[in-house]
Amino acid sequence: MRFFLSLLIFLSVSSLAQADTIRRSIPANKTSSVGAHATYNAQCMPSSIPKMKIAKQPENGTVSFKQVAFKLSEDAGRCAGRQVKGIAVYYKPKRGFRGQDEFKVRFTMDMYSARSAKIRNVVDKYIVEVK
């Protein structure tokens, strides 16, 4: 039973750490939130706030990060609606730019499972359509 519980916790935590391609449409000439990252455990309790870095700069704008509190979306399964602290990702296109831009964000988070601590690095790719 203990092994099964440890495996379940490991699988639920490690599924959070898979890299994604995130697509967003945003208005021109305005800073927009394009994503947010937070970590939480199998009991839906918030974990440490991820450390964020830009892995690949956008060609036609700038990326910034801000610590925020937000409710988890339906993608969080049974944890949906829980309040957590995390980091929001903001994109600001260059003045007058319209079209597609992309960038990559690396976030590092602590993972605790089966009595061991690990650090997980994930790189998400953002594709932003500026309209």
For residue 83, give the CATH number of its domain.
Answer: 2.60.40
Domain residues for the domain of 99 are 2-130
Q: Which residue has the higher pLDDT, 10 or 78?
A: 78
Listed residue (40, 45, 42) closest to 6, CA to CA: 42
Query: To which residue do tokens 């309040």 refer?
Result: 83
Overall number of domains in the chain: 1
* Amino acid 3: pLDDT: 34
d(CA 79, CA 76): 5
Q: Is 76 within 8 Å of 37 (Cβ atoms)?
A: no
Closest CA to 39 of 12, 66, 64, 4: 12
Nearest to 5 by CA among 43, 46, 39, 47: 43
pTM: 0.76
The string of pLDDT tens digits covering residues 63-119 is: 999 999 999 889 888 999 999 999 999 999 999 999 999 999 998 876 655 555 566
Q: Which residue has the higher pLDDT, 58 or 108?
A: 58
The one-letter amino acid code at 69 reads A
pLDDT score recorded for residue 13: 43
What gap in Å lies between CA 55 and CA 48, rounded to an integer?
21
What residues does 130 pair with on adjacent strands? 26, 99
